[in-house]
Amino acid sequence: MKSYTEYLWFNTAKRREYINITPEVEKALAKSGIKEGMALVSAMHITAGVYVNDAESGLIQDIDEWLEQLAPYNPDYRHHRTGEDNGDAHLKSLIVHHEVIIPVTEGRLDFGPWQQVYYAEFDGQRRKRVIIKIIGE
Amino acid sequence: MKSYTEYLWFNTAKRREYINITPEVEKALAKSGIKEGMALVSAMHITAGVYVNDAESGLIQDIDEWLEQLAPYNPDYRHHRTGEDNGDAHLKSLIVHHEVIIPVTEGRLDFGPWQQVYYAEFDGQRRKRVIIKIIGE
Amino acid sequence: MKSYTEYLWFNTAKRREYINITPEVEKALAKSGIKEGMALVSAMHITAGVYVNDAESGLIQDIDEWLEQLAPYNPDYRHHRTGEDNGDAHLKSLIVHHEVIIPVTEGRLDFGPWQQVYYAEFDGQRRKRVIIKIIGE
């Protein structure tokens, strides 16, 4: 079994941002030399997510507004007694989930026609990380 | 390390449908010959999901109505400016998630007593795919 | 490829409880001897979840109240015609998801600074199980 690990760093200009990281995951896969296996892409922070969906700007805005409805910014979260103001970002991260696992077949991400991997930042404007870990042969 | 890949095709009669694919995943596992490892079951489309829960028809209807409340069909999604009308299906897919990973122990899916794998179609009536990828030994 | 499997048992005092199981997962990893790979932590029941987030008691209460808003206890779920009263627990489990997969690097869980694994019980006061399955080398 081979294994390959890489870390991506982000520091977004806005508090919430959605970044297509498919090219970075594909580059990591090429470097790994792995042909058959699985690629894990996982946020290393508890106020960010990783998801697979469409690279369509209207939809991304829909997702952002919808997440704000389901898990709104609100000064009154108990978590804020710690001095934080990012309770909503934790809840948004729970909805979209913080990681995906992508099948690797014949040396490529075995995605359907429209699938793309996104990093979803819910509490940005500071340095944060994603791990890519690929195992296989 | 062994690896086994199979694709399941769906073309549902209704726009939204929930299909128990546990037997198909078990058959794939038997064909793989893998005894210890992990089975990834992942929708290859961005308007469908894969989840693990109960094979109880009342609950499935509860899940469907609840998803429609949290991510309702609505003509006004920005995504619809592309000509699509399936914005809700993308959001429903984000809630239930598009993939699961199932532990494989002694050649069987290592599930608890009521766990079953479901394919959740949110924008059906056309050909769509799920990948099963099993790795292990 | 090495593989290691362990089961954790829970019997919570309350119906809903959130239990930090990071130490148990770390112990399982140490026993496995695996240095590079992936650790799957998965609830074996359909009314419980496993997620990664912060070990902060205010936030955990926020998460609990927020899940109760999104998937409220309600006597009227169709699922209850079977004699159950835990429809909400199934829906809460779908939101937080029932499993996580954690990267393993140099023999440790490759987590960011605040990431912790939680078992989320939504229908407790009875014996339930989580599987830890680690594969790698």
CATH number at residue A61: 2.60.120.460
Q: Residue B136 is nearest to which of C1, C97, C101, comparing CB atoms? A: C1
Distance CA B104, CA C1 (A): 14
Task: Give chains near A: 3+ CB pairs under 8 A.
Answer: B, C
Burial class (CB in 10 A: 0-12, 13-18, 19+), A98: buried
- Does a structural domain hold residue C42? yes
Contact at 8 Å (CB) between A126 and A92?
no
- List the one residue out of A27, A34, A41 whose CA is nearest residue A119: A41
Contact at 8 Å (CB) between A93 and A60?
no
C133 touching chain B per CB within 8 A: yes
- Does a structural domain hold residue A26? yes
- Does a structural domain hold residue B75? yes
Chain B: closest CA distance from residue A82 (Å): 29
Distance CA C60, CA C53 (A): 9
Contact at 8 Å (CB) between C103 and C38?
yes
Q: Which chain C residues are Cβ-neighbours of B37 within 8 angstroms?
A: 1, 3, 135
Distance CA B69, CA A60 (A): 20
User: Which tokens sit at A69?
Assistant: 């409805």
Chain B: closest CA distance from residue A62 (Å): 6
Provide the edge-to-edge strand list for the sheet that holds A108-109.
Answer: A2-10, A128-136, A37-43, A99-105, A108-109
- Tens digits of per-residue pLDDT, B23-43? 999 999 999 999 999 999 999
Q: Residue A46 is nearest to which of C53, C96, C100, comparing CB atoms? A: C53
Percentage of residues in chain B with pLDDT exceeding 70? 100
What confidence category does residue C23 fall into, taking pLDDT thresholds of 50, 70 and 90?
A: very high
Q: Which chain A residues are Cβ-neighbours of B95 within 8 angstroms?
A: 95
- Please give the model's pTM, rounded to 2 decimal places: 0.98
What confidence category does residue B78 fall into, taking pLDDT thresholds of 50, 70 and 90?
A: very high
User: Which tokens sit at B103?
Assistant: 């532990």
Backbone angles phi, psi at B17, to 5 degrees: -150, 150
- Tens digits of per-residue pLDDT, A21-30? 999 999 999 9
DSSP state of C81: G
Task: Give chains near B: 3+ CB pairs under 8 A.
Answer: A, C
Give the mean pLDDT of chain B: 98
Q: Which of B9, B42, B67, B129 to mutate to test the interface with A (most CBs of A within 10 A)?
A: B42
- List the one residue out of A96, C7, C84, A3 whose CA is nearest residue B135: A3
Pairing mode, if any, of strands C128-136 and A17-20? unpaired
Beta-carbon count within 10 A of B69 CB:
9
Q: Which amino acid is at C32?
A: S
Total of domains in chain A:
1
Beta-carbon count within 10 A of C2 CB:
15
Percentage of residues in chain A with pLDDT exceeding 90? 100
- List the one residue out of C92, C123, C103 whose CA is nearest residue C40: C103
- Does a structural domain hold residue A6? no
Q: Which of C10, C94, C95 to mutate to test the interface with B (most CBs of B within 10 A)?
A: C94
- Tens digits of per-residue pLDDT, A33-80? 999 999 999 999 999 999 999 999 999 999 999 999 999 999 999 999
- Tens digits of per-residue pLDDT, C49-70? 999 999 999 999 999 999 999 9
What confidence category does residue C128 fall into, taking pLDDT thresholds of 50, 70 and 90?
A: very high
Q: Which pLDDT does position C126 carry in this prediction?
A: 96
Q: Which pLDDT does position B11 carry in this prediction?
A: 98
- Sign, CA dihedral B71-B73-B77-B82, equals positive
Global ipTM: 0.97
| A91, A131, C57 from C14: Cα distances, Å | 23, 35, 16
The string over C118-136, giving b where at least 16 C-beta atoms fall within 10 Å of a residue's C-beta and e elsewhere, is bbbbbbbeeebebbbbbbb
- Does a structural domain hold residue A113? yes
* Domain containing residue A22: 15-136
- Does a structural domain hold residue A125? yes
Give the mean pLDDT of chain C: 97
C87 touching chain B per CB within 8 A: yes
A133 touching chain C per CB within 8 A: yes
Distance CA B107, CA B35 (A): 4
Q: Which chain B residues are Cβ-neighbours of C103 within 8 angstroms?
A: none
Q: Which of C66, C76, C79 to mutate to test the interface with B (most CBs of B within 10 A)?
A: C79
- Does a structural domain hold residue A45? yes
B61 touching chain C per CB within 8 A: yes
